[in-house]
Structure 1
Amino acid sequence: MSSSYKNNYKKFLRRTYLAIAGVTIAVPFIIDATAGIKPHAFFGFNKILADTVSPAVGPKSIRKGGAGPVNSKDTVIVPKRGDSSAIKLPGDSTLKDTTIVTVDSLHLPKASKDSLDAVVTAKAQDSMVLMIQDKKFYLYGSANVKYKTIDLTAAQVSFDQNSGVMSATHGKDTAGKPVGRPVMNDGGQSLESDTLEYNFTSSKALIFNTRSQYGEGYVHSEKTKRMADNTIFGFKNGYTTCNLDTPHFSFRSKKIKVIPDKLIVSGPANLEIQGIPTPIFIPFAIFPITQGQRSGILPPQFVVNQQKGMGLENGGYYFGMGENLDMTLRGDVYSYGSWSLTASPTYRKRYKYSGGMTISFANTRLGDPSVPSEFVNSHDFRIMWNHSMDSKARPGINFGASVNFGSSSYNQYNVYDYSTRVNNNIGSSISFSKTWQNKPYNLTVNLSDNQNLQTRDVSLTFPDANFSVQTIYPFQPKELIGTAKWYQKIGIGYTNEFRNQAYFKDSSFGKKEMFDALQTGMRQNIPIAFSIPVMKSFTLSPSVNMTEYWYTKKVYRQWDPNKTNLSTGQLGALDTTYIPGFSAQHEVSAAMSLATALYGMYTFNKDSRIKAIRHVMRPSIGVNYRPNLNSGAYYNMRYNAAGDSTRTSYYTGAPIGVPSEGTFAGMTFNLDNNLEMKVFSRKDTSANHEKKIKLLDGFGLSTNYNFVADSFKLAPFNLYARTNLFDKLNITANAILDPYATKPNGQRIDKYVWETGKFSPGRLASAGITMSTSFQSKDKKSQDKQKALDSLANVTDPNTLLAAQQRQLQMVRNNPGEYVDFDIPWRVDLSYSFNYVNQVRADSGGLVNIIQQYVNFNGDFSLTPKWKVGLNSGFDFTHMQVAYTNMYISRDLHCWQMSINVVPFGTFRQFSITINPKAGLLRDLRINRSRTFYNM
């Protein structure tokens, strides 16, 4: 190519670029000068528009077929965006082939006094038509109009400028079904209807065949009038909590009034089910639709109790006393004279603390007063309190409380779910803790209480203080350079425990017997230890431990043949004498342990599904020396009429523990193992296609041998094992093997079991095993439920959540049939426990041999997607009887639910059938029939 040709080519390109740029700049000015204002699919209009616009005279539109002009004074047609042809107006055949209609630019003067106080914006998916002379405009296809807080969507919308009325209607699809029903949202209110008329001047609306939602409720009205203050008047209405267009039930009323965010008031109403009127009428109805805290009445539930008679339960009042405090007051009353009253205040202060309390008083009258042997008049109480402190309120300081205290017979007469009635132990705790910042000091102060409701034993501990100093390294420099020396790893700690504790019967609370049983003690402990590696694979850990015990009272127990045994009613029992006075005991020990880990691997051939089995052993062996500094703290205690005795301490049962008796100079041994297996798995995406399975998470034993003891040098073997096979079967087992033989009365003799001619490592003193598993089908809505659980983590008031969960749990226990999960077709939970004890217990009079076995199973299955059958039961092999059993049947009725609960046998028997709406707003509107029976 010649250079002249190249130059000509470049000139041609430059001229072409300049021409394109000129046309690009000029075209908008030409269009603007000839076409005026162009229509848009989104615009703003005002009431003053049609009154102040002069008639526009524009050029004639061009028809494809060369037809005549179209007068642009009357109509502005806004075509669908992206469509080259104009949208045809209904009844106008002259616009069939129109490509575009334009008008001259509109000159808008200042707004007049009668204009709207806000701009109205509108858009449509199909087309918008503005008729200037008639002062009307039309929106077609998914129209949307916004004015202040009003957001209206409909298939078609029209506006008449003369009357100021906007109308919205639905359209129809090709099958003739209505689509695009008008929906108006205003300040949280949602109205769906067939036809809607809204007056911009008066801010009133007239709505036909509307369906509105208020919280959990829906209102269906043939005709609705909405006032300027958003108050709504309805004509021929139906109120329901069913979300279907044709609800399963509703309360039909001729007139209703809706006060936004407050309540719905209705005149006389009739309950309809499946559109069929029922004989149930109510003179009026009030449905609250308030948001937030509101005081109000809590309606009671009618019940029939065999022992207490007919009654009303859980009726009361809720007091809303601001964002920091509220209280719920509930009461029960029965025809035979029993009653109860419960007050539940809760308090909270954001970012500071939150808590709640439950105080209950109950008076129970059972039986006939004329028959004293069968008559019961019990006065009971229960106090529950929980308190939690925000960790950010005061860093380093925390205060919490969980109190559950009451009379021993409260659960027996006032609690109806089985799990609570058979729970014989309740406890309380109040704690305060402080951690010094940048210092190794910690202080904890507790108050704790434990009650056995069956034996009426109480254990009260207060104060329970613990002050500790974290391990410090006095020989370690502030800046460590290089590898630390062995002496730089020496650590020293300190712990001081002060405890005041009493064991007594609940009837002795505050009396002399309680203070006689009060024991006070303090224990100080100073551990010195360090660890160093030895020969790479071993860890050597020398340690020295010094402990000091302070007591304020001795306990002397001896057999009294003239004392009555309260448990058996026979003569002969242990008598307890308290000897006040300060005493101190000391204990010093030195130890050194050596630990390592051993790995073993067994591999299989390539064709086997089992690839390998790995065994890990963690043995630990140590030497320990403890001199005998506490020989005066023990004595021989006789515990039965046969004269048998055992060695026990004067401080048995002391709150700070008891030092060990005798000199110990021996060895300790511990062995921990775990077993894993690798198998072939197609689900594994890696190249190895392997899956790891834990056969045994842990199993092992521990014991010790005292070289200087006069007898019984070898300690019992403690065995344990735990595993979770295939992530389904949980197994936990433990056992104690005593290597020494025993006499017929259970007393040990200084002779090994294998020396008596038995091929055995020892006598089984105690053992236990627990197994549990669970199976269920796939949850259809597992992802949605997981999201609901995740949302609970964002609750700002955890105390309120805890109280709500407790109430919900109580309701589930009382009526499991009302809270079944229909999304899980079937579910089975199984558990088995076995416990064996064969040893001497002084309080029981000698050798005790106990075997306990129990199996528990519960589950449910769906007969159909809407029918569910469930069973909770168990079997006690010790007494060879069926345990507490609860059977239930549930039916999902969409917006209602039916449940039948049966407790067929046992001390507490019950039958109930309940039909109630699912919505919380109408949950008290239930049909309930229940019967309760007691076998005292």
Structure 2
Amino acid sequence: MQALIKSLLFSAVILLLLGQSACRYPYYTPQAKKARKALKAEKKARKAAAAQLPKSDTTIAASDEGIDQLPKTDPKARAGQKKETDKLVDAPALDSLPPSDTSQMALAAIDSSGTDSLLLSQVDSLPPIVFNPDSLDSPVQYDAKDSTIYDLMNQKIYLYGSAEINYGRYQLKAGYIEVDFLTSIATAQGFPDSTEPSGIREMPYFSDGNQKFEAKKIMYNFKTKKGKVFDTSTEQGDGYFLSKATKFISKSGDSTASSDVLYAGGCTYTTCDHKHPHFGLRSSRAKVIPGKLIVVGPSFIEIMGSPTPLALPFGFFPITNSRKSGLILSTNIDFSPNWGAGIREIGYYQVISDQMDLKLTGDFYTRGTFRVNLESNYKMRYKASGGFRMSYARTVEDEPGTPDYSLLKDFNISWTHQQDAKAHPSQSFSASVNLGTSDYFRNTEPSANLTLQSTLQSSISYSKRFLGTPFSLAIAARHSQNTSSNTMNITAPQTTLTMNQIYPFQRKVQLGEQSWYERIGFSYSATANNSFQIADSLLFSADGLADAMEEAKYSVVHSPRVNLSLKLFKYINVQPNISYQESWYFYSNEQSFDPTLVISADTSYDEDDPTIISNIDADTTFGTLNTFRDYGFNAVRNFSAGVNMSTQLFATGTYNIGRLEKVRAVIRPNVGLSWRPDYQSDFWGYYGEVQTDTRYPDELTTYRRFDAVPSGGEQALLTYSLNSRIEGKLKPSRRDTSQQKSNKFPILNNLNVSGNYNFAADSLRWSTINLNANTTLFKMVNATFSMVFDPYIADQNTNTRLNTLEWTKNGRLARFTSGALALSTQINPNSLKQLFSDPYKSKTKKEEEAKSFDILQQLSLNYNLRFNRSYIEGVDSLQFTANELSMSGAFRLSKNWDIRIYRMGYDFDKKRITYPDFGFSRSLHCWEMGMRWQPEQQTWNFFVQVRPGSLGFLKLPVNKTRFDDY
């Protein structure tokens, strides 16, 4: 029996020790004694509170496991004690509830569907649960890796090592966190550590779902949703907000606030992400509404920790990520000796909708020069996207009344529109517009690519396919502008009705082989044109536009076509064709000759005595040629007939030259016959003759009576062409054992030789011989080559063709007359690595080689060579009309230095650099410095500025336009 009692006592002691080991501290420690006192005081307080409450108001007390549900106490109950717990106001525990009727519970369990309301009313006898109104609205979860200490006497928790608290959407992390449940305040701090860059290990971190920041110390009240943050940095938009002390108020903790608010003191706003910002806007106080705006009081610019005299009375910085309407305040201040002081890029931005915006900006100078830009961008999902830009510039050069005074007015309109492919199954609309005065870019933009544009082109088109039919309709407007002559050729509108090819004789149900006539195809198109020419400066002039419309050219052109495709001997394709075109004109261009003599005199006077005539120059015009329109309907018909024959030949050669294994050529010869009548004969009436000089009455000049008529002379042509593609095949390399297949590579992508022979001509029946070829060199250089040969000799004085073959006189088939060579390539680091690196080197050596190519970011090279051969003073000479190398690219000299060549060329014939346009930039972390220079146009731009962002107005630009003297 004694042994049994001893074993029971021993087991009890073991269980007691195991229970104590589950605590964080020993049984006899001061903390344990305080905890036991607190538990006893808690039990007494619960009994006292339960006795005061009515029996029907039964509540559930907080459990010992949920420290976050600890009840509040009355501080008066701690009188006479060192630290006693407050008077508890929670209800008694569940064990104090009166027992329920088990029979009623059984009935409730049987009828769980709740259909019997009587049984439910009997079973649901528990009184409603009443919670403390001061309790938290959600559970608090906490954890720590090192240790957790519970101070039940003071109702505090101490979390050590990677401590973390989660309360709803709020999260708090730190090396050490102290939670006071009496005040609902959590205080987070890190541990000093000299090895960390910040000097603190496990820096306190706070997140509320929207805001995330770190600080040296964080105090947060979970009940009021307010907190204090010390020495923190938060990311606001594209910048950073640093402050010594910040008060944080959550919108859920303030009924009058619509969003979270930060009140800061001793703060700095910057876009520099460095630990110690290189610059910033220093202010004594600020208010921040996260995601919306920052408002600062009196501030000054601070650079490298040193204040500057640049001060602001206040600051307002929107930091929203969405688009907002408002003024565009510019600090791009400029000064030009010619234009005076000015401000650039100031204006207004308007958000019209989620799919469209509008921006109006301008550059204004004190001496009258200005430029206004109106821009709009739109994007409608599954419908269309595009942008519109209209600019007007007024440039004043020199002072009024001076010899060099000039007033230049330029404009430019650009518009792009792309319809989404899913917008409509049968209709489409697109636009690409670029029109304006020829000198707009030269007077406003120093860019080489824009300034050197020789033509401006625009097109607007609408097309409609009639589903289920071969018909389609297209309406277009086109514009072509020569910037050298300042003339515009505008075609508007141009309406085209097209019928795709149909086979009218084809059987609907195909039985047996197809007959030859079933292959007869028919197509048709009708085009109505209206075009006119006008100077760019008169486009928006009522008189100028009216005069241009009077000279407009308009016509309707019908183009039916019949063709047939046949096989001859299984290998030869035979394609006979008949082409007919009829053009309707509503006027004819006529010319008449006025034989009246016109004598004009140019009289010059003596310099010493203006009354004495020193010389009289007379100029006589022997008649005048007049051009006029004779209105009426006219039809111009043009038809031709012919047949083409083509086939395909293959040639293969086997070689053993190095790795070259085979060469394969695909040859496509084509021979055709065509006939067309002589439209210059009087039978057709397309041409007219008129006298031009009274001295030569028998000499008549031929002119065209209509805007577009076929060329004169009968044609009975034999056409020929030879198109080839040549490929090579390499054997597998011995060094690469994994390569099983041979490598194919193109030698010539295309080689074409073409010409014709006119049986109907009385002389010079052979045409020139054209040769064109293109290939790809080293897998990265595109090469195009063309040459023209003439089978006839030329006059050594006039270079005109003579009706004598080169073979007859010089014993050669033809003489070379002109040629062209064009090379182009796009080079980047990857292409250089593939070109020069050895695939069989080790990975380490490949990485070392790759670093040497990093200096080149992008390089574009273009070489153009054009030349001709002719007689100059009787000597057969070769002349180069173009011999230029142009390039553009970007180079990274170091981590922070970049050089960009926008355009630079070298003319080998004239031996000079052509229109260089280049610049450099230096990254200064959050600042940048750069310069762009166009020496030929004598313009440059230098700037030092903060990288684009909220503080992008901090910049110093210096510009020189082509109108400035220095």
Q: TM-score range by the shorter chain?
A: 0.7 to 0.9
Amino acid at match of 2:311: F
2:455, 2:393 → 1: CA distance?
Answer: 20
Q: Secondary structure at the match of 1:400?
A: strand
1:732, 1:773 → 2: CA distance?
Answer: 12
TM-score by length of 2: 0.74
Flag the 1:733–1:521 CA change in 2: closer, same or farther, 3 A: farther
Task: Return the match for 2:155 from 109, 124, 135.
Answer: 135
Q: Is the 8 A contact 2:447 2:917 kept in 1?
A: no
In the alignment, which residue of structure 1 is the partner of 2:704?
650
Q: Is the 8 A contact 2:237 2:291 kept in 1?
A: no
Verify: 1:912 aligned to 2:941, yes or no. yes
Using the TM superposition, name which of 493-502 and 886-895 deviates more.
886-895
2:205, 2:302 → 1: CA distance?
Answer: 26
- Quote how far apart the aligned CAs of 1:729 are: 1.5
Q: Is the 8 A contact 1:317 1:329 kept in 2?
A: yes
Identity %: 29
In the alignment, which residue of structure 2 is the partner of 1:596?
647
Q: Is the 8 A contact 2:531 2:552 kept in 1?
A: yes
In the alignment, which residue of structure 2 is the partner of 1:309?
340
1:704, 1:574 → 2: CA distance?
Answer: 41
Flag the 1:186–1:649 CA change in 2: closer, same or farther, 3 A: farther
In the alignment, which residue of structure 1 is the partner of 2:236?
214
In the alignment, which residue of structure 2 is the partner of 1:931?
960
Q: Secondary structure at the match of 1:886?
A: strand
Q: Is the 8 A contact 1:734 1:767 kept in 2?
A: yes
Q: Is the 8 A contact 2:148 2:158 kept in 1?
A: yes
- Quote how far apart the aligned CAs of 1:404 are: 2.6
| Structure 2 unmatched ranges of 5 or more | 1-11, 40-63, 67-92, 98-128, 252-259, 601-618, 835-852, 872-877
Using the TM superposition, name which of 141-150 and 585-594 deviates more.
141-150
2:514, 2:130 → 1: CA distance?
Answer: 87
Amino acid at match of 1:749: L
Verify: 1:344 aligned to 2:375, yes or no. yes
In the alignment, which residue of structure 1 is the partner of 2:920?
889
Flag the 1:345–1:900 CA change in 2: closer, same or farther, 3 A: closer
In the alignment, which residue of structure 1 is the partner of 2:812?
759
Flag the 1:645–1:517 CA change in 2: closer, same or farther, 3 A: farther
Flag the 1:357–1:830 CA change in 2: closer, same or farther, 3 A: closer
1:646, 1:868 → 2: CA distance?
Answer: 67
In the alignment, which residue of structure 2 is the partner of 1:547?
581
Q: Secondary structure at the match of 2:133?
A: coil
Flag the 1:238–1:548 CA change in 2: closer, same or farther, 3 A: same
In the alignment, which residue of structure 2 is the partner of 1:283?
313
Flag the 1:341–1:445 CA change in 2: closer, same or farther, 3 A: same
- Quote how far apart the aligned CAs of 1:429 are: 2.0
- Quote how far apart the aligned CAs of 1:603 are: 2.5
TM-score by length of 1: 0.76
What is the RMSD of the two structures over their aligned residues, measured on CA atoms? 4.3
In the alignment, which residue of structure 2 is the partner of 1:89?
none
Flag the 1:576–1:781 CA change in 2: closer, same or farther, 3 A: farther
Q: Is the 8 A contact 1:233 1:258 kept in 2?
A: yes
Deviation per residue, 1:299-348 (Å, 9 max, x gap): 14122334323322221121233334432111122233212222224455
Using the TM superposition, name which of 203-212 and 922-931 deviates more.
922-931
Q: Secondary structure at the match of 1:864?
A: coil
- Quote how far apart the aligned CAs of 1:600 are: 2.1
- Quote how far apart the aligned CAs of 1:194 are: 1.9
1:559, 1:853 → 2: CA distance?
Answer: 47
Amino acid at match of 1:598: L
Q: Secondary structure at the match of 1:921?
A: coil
In the alignment, which residue of structure 1 is the partner of 2:494?
464
In the alignment, which residue of structure 1 is the partner of 2:663?
613
1:413, 1:342 → 2: CA distance?
Answer: 15
Q: Secondary structure at the match of 1:709?
A: coil
Flag the 1:933–1:384 CA change in 2: closer, same or farther, 3 A: closer
In the alignment, which residue of structure 1 is the partner of 2:673?
623
In the alignment, which residue of structure 2 is the partner of 1:719?
771
1:609, 1:574 → 2: CA distance?
Answer: 75
Task: Return the match for 1:736 from 788, 791, 804.
Answer: 788
1:469, 1:892 → 2: CA distance?
Answer: 60
- Quote how far apart the aligned CAs of 1:828 are: 3.9
1:596, 1:563 → 2: CA distance?
Answer: 67
- Quote how far apart the aligned CAs of 1:716 are: 2.2
Task: Return the match for 1:678 from 712, 729, 734.
Answer: 729
In the alignment, which residue of structure 2 is the partner of 1:371?
402
Spell out the pairing of 1:199-238 with structure 2 (5 A cutoff).
199-229=221-251, 230-238=260-268
Using the TM superposition, name which of 129-138 and 430-439 deviates more.
129-138
Number of residues paired by the alignment?
A: 796
Q: Is the 8 A contact 1:181 1:193 kept in 2?
A: yes
Q: Secondary structure at the match of 2:961?
A: strand
Flag the 1:557–1:178 CA change in 2: closer, same or farther, 3 A: farther
Spell out the pairing of 1:164-179 with structure 2 (5 A cutoff).
164-171=184-191, 175=195, 178-179=200-201
Q: Is the 8 A contact 2:922 2:930 kept in 1?
A: yes
1:508, 1:678 → 2: CA distance?
Answer: 61
Q: Is the 8 A contact 1:311 1:335 kept in 2?
A: yes
Flag the 1:598–1:647 CA change in 2: closer, same or farther, 3 A: farther
In the alignment, which residue of structure 2 is the partner of 1:694?
746
2:869, 2:958 → 1: CA distance?
Answer: 49
Using the TM superposition, name which of 276-285 and 310-319 deviates more.
276-285
Verify: 1:523 aligned to 2:561, yes or no. no
Q: Is the 8 A contact 1:684 1:690 kept in 2?
A: no
Q: Is the 8 A contact 1:740 1:763 kept in 2?
A: no
2:583, 2:375 → 1: CA distance?
Answer: 43
Amino acid at match of 1:221: S
Amino acid at match of 1:383: I
Deviation per residue, 1:794-844 (Å, 9 max, x gap): xxxxxxxxxxxxxxxxxxxxxxxxxxxx9754554322112346899xxxx
Instruction: Give the greater-gyration-radius structure (CA).
Output: 2
Amino acid at match of 1:195: K
Amino acid at match of 2:183: S
Deviation per residue, 1:501-522 (Å, 9 max, x gap): 1234345654564134311122
Deviation per residue, 1:560-583 (Å, 9 max, x gap): 99999xxxxx99999783433432
Deviation per residue, 1:165-203 (Å, 9 max, x gap): 122333467956533323323343222212211101111
1:221, 1:195 → 2: CA distance?
Answer: 12
Flag the 1:284–1:150 CA change in 2: closer, same or farther, 3 A: same
Q: Secondary structure at the match of 1:755?
A: helix
Verify: 1:749 aligned to 2:779, yes or no. no
In the alignment, which residue of structure 2 is the partner of 1:796?
none
Q: Is the 8 A contact 1:835 1:853 kept in 2?
A: yes
Q: Secondary structure at the match of 2:548?
A: helix
Deviation per residue, 1:206-229 (Å, 9 max, x gap): 111111001110011121110133
Flag the 1:243–1:480 CA change in 2: closer, same or farther, 3 A: farther
1:270, 1:780 → 2: CA distance?
Answer: 50
In the alignment, which residue of structure 2 is the partner of 1:811?
none
Flag the 1:639–1:724 CA change in 2: closer, same or farther, 3 A: farther
Spell out the pairing of 1:152-191 with structure 2 (5 A cutoff).
152-171=172-191, 175=195, 178-191=200-213
Using the TM superposition, name which of 555-564 and 338-347 deviates more.
555-564
Amino acid at match of 1:461: T
Q: Is the 8 A contact 1:241 1:919 kept in 2?
A: no
Q: Secondary structure at the match of 1:451?
A: strand
Deviation per residue, 1:387-423 (Å, 9 max, x gap): 3433433331122333333233433433332322222
2:95, 2:703 → 1: CA distance?
Answer: 107
Flag the 1:717–1:119 CA change in 2: closer, same or farther, 3 A: farther
Q: Secondary structure at the match of 1:527?
A: strand
Flag the 1:267–1:343 CA change in 2: closer, same or farther, 3 A: same
Verify: 1:664 aligned to 2:715, yes or no. yes
